[in-house]
Amino acid sequence: MAEKSKNTLVIGGSTKPERYSNKAIKKLLKYGHKVYSIGLKHANVEGVEIQVGQPEFEDIDTVTMYIGPSHQSGYFDYVINLNPRRVIFNPGSENNEFAETLRANDIEVVEHCTLVMLDYGLF
């Protein structure tokens, strides 16, 4: 189990079990984290509501990205306003422009796989 539960927002949530965002939601729950998610359509994964749009959340520690760089620009201000401690760019979601913007706002940027981080105690 995780040392401390972290409120985590999964951007790009999906109900498809083969999607890494779906695996991340399930694994974050398994490790005892509070999980929120936003995606393209309203759904539910293991009791986690996938919301659409840019809903307000409080006390988000970590945002983990599962959308490609070409779909991220609309989330720049949203994520910055959430004021997370860090943003994890999973493989395929890396975005230098977004990373620079986050760093300029004192938000830690991590380029890694959330699933691996959880399994190796790096989350």
| Tens-place pLDDT, residues 11-45 | 999 999 999 999 999 999 999 999 999 999 999 99
pLDDT for position 2: 42
Position 1 pLDDT exceeds 60 = no
Per residue in 69-94, pLDDT tens?
999 999 999 999 999 999 999 999 99
| 32/65 Cα distance (integer angstroms) | 19
The whole-number pLDDT of residue 4 equals 83
Q: Which domains does the chain have, with CATH numbers?
A: 8-119 (3.40.50.720)
Q: What value does the mean pLDDT of the chain take?
A: 96
Question: Tokens for 43?
Answer: 């759904």
Residue 111 main-chain phi, psi, to 5 deg: -105, 100
pLDDT over 50 at 66, yes or no: yes
pTM: 0.95
